[in-house]
Chain A
Amino acid sequence: MTAQSQHGLVEPLLAQLSGSFSPAELDRVRHAFAFGAHWHDGQWRYNGDRYITHPLAAAEDAAAAGLDCTMVCAALLHDVLADTGCAPSLLRAEFGDEVADLVERLAAFRYGTAAPDDDRVITLKLLDCLHNMRTIEYVDTAKQMSKSRETLEWLVPHARRLGLPVVADELEELARHRIELLAAEGGGEITATLCALRLGSIMLPTAARSRYLEEWAAELRAPADQRGRRRFARQLMLGLPRLSVMLRRPQWKDRCAGIMHRVAESRLARSGRKALHWLLGQRSGRGHYSHR
């Protein structure tokens, strides 16, 4: 898909603005979207969406908040200087000093730096962060934690000071919820283990899969420490082939277990072990185990 064919994405925003913006302003918004879509072409969000959907979401929030054309355009263009090869001079030539200044100052405004004296830069940062926090489940867990903390300590107070209680409340709720979730999940380690188990569970009958994954999500929190959790998970992986056979043959006659069952089970166990070795190798950054 080229930047040209993404143009339909901006229509809802234009419709949203059509009552309050003049035709000239609507043209400017359309141009800002086309410019952003061009420079972000080939870039993707963590959730697999085109990157331009992020500035677009920020611009829609700006429009919903009743901000002016300069702010809506700046929201559409807010990442072109930080994340693409677009030259500041080009942005300035296309959209004027006001928009270019906002975007340049936003790119320099980070956690730990002094707050800019222009509240509009902070507002843009809040719009940027709001959409990022709404879609944060797709980034890695360490980043989820640090971004949530930054939001609570840094951005929520700014939003309250600027008189944006709706934005402040949503940011606060999103960040708190995320931190609670991460704490409950043992800082992401359990999530990673569950991912491995989810892969392994392909060998279970479809009807039983989600039940066991849900059951193990609770059980992985039962061992007292990480070592216990890892042992529990490793043994589960090794037992999956046998569990799979049991679930497929609930009336299986143990006493006269046919040789064919044992052959099938040992084959399943072998492929399960291979999958596990591959996974462990991937997680420790090696393709295979080295024996000394």
Chain B
Amino acid sequence: MSRKMPRMTLPTQLVLGELIADPTRRIHGFELCAATGQPSGTVYPILARLEGLGWLESEWEEPDVHVPAGRPRRRYYRLTEDGAACARMALRAAEASRLKAAARLRTAGARP
């Protein structure tokens, strides 16, 4: 588990926000794109990054689900325990810096 932090871009925050909503839930790529409204070309690099950091783990769908459904197996992503804790922290930090920036803007706007 790496202590490194991913760059908290808005798409990264959206992806983490979706995953943290229910940390035990596993979700596949297209589902995550649909839920966050982010393009697949943005979501997959973020997933790869988070998986590389150990925040996420992924697994193949079980044969008793995809074989009767008549399609290839899906890859499901889920937050690891440490990943969930880190994600919460990172999202809080991102939120705090956003609030701070907004406050600075308000102060700047109040000046004559």
Contacts and interface: CB of A to CB of B under 8 A. Distances in A.
Assign chain B's interface to a size class: 20 to 34
Contacts of A257: 7
Interface string A246-260: 110011111101000
B41 A219 contact: no
Contacts of B74: 215, 218-219
Contact of A218 (B6, B52, B75): B75
B45 A214 contact: no
Contact of A250 (B41, B52, B61, B66): B52
B86 interface: no
A220 to B, nearest CB: 8
Contacts, number: 88
Majority SS of interface residues in chain A?
helix
Contacts of B63: none
Interface of B: 2, 4-7, 28-31, 33, 39-45, 48-49, 51-53, 61, 66, 70-75
27 contacts: A211-B75, A214-B72, A214-B73, A214-B75, A215-B75, A217-B72, A218-B72, A218-B74, A222-B30, A235-B39, A236-B40, A236-B44, A238-B41, A239-B39, A239-B40, A239-B41, A239-B42, A239-B43, A242-B45, A243-B45, A246-B48, A247-B52, A250-B51, A251-B4, A251-B52, A254-B5, A257-B7
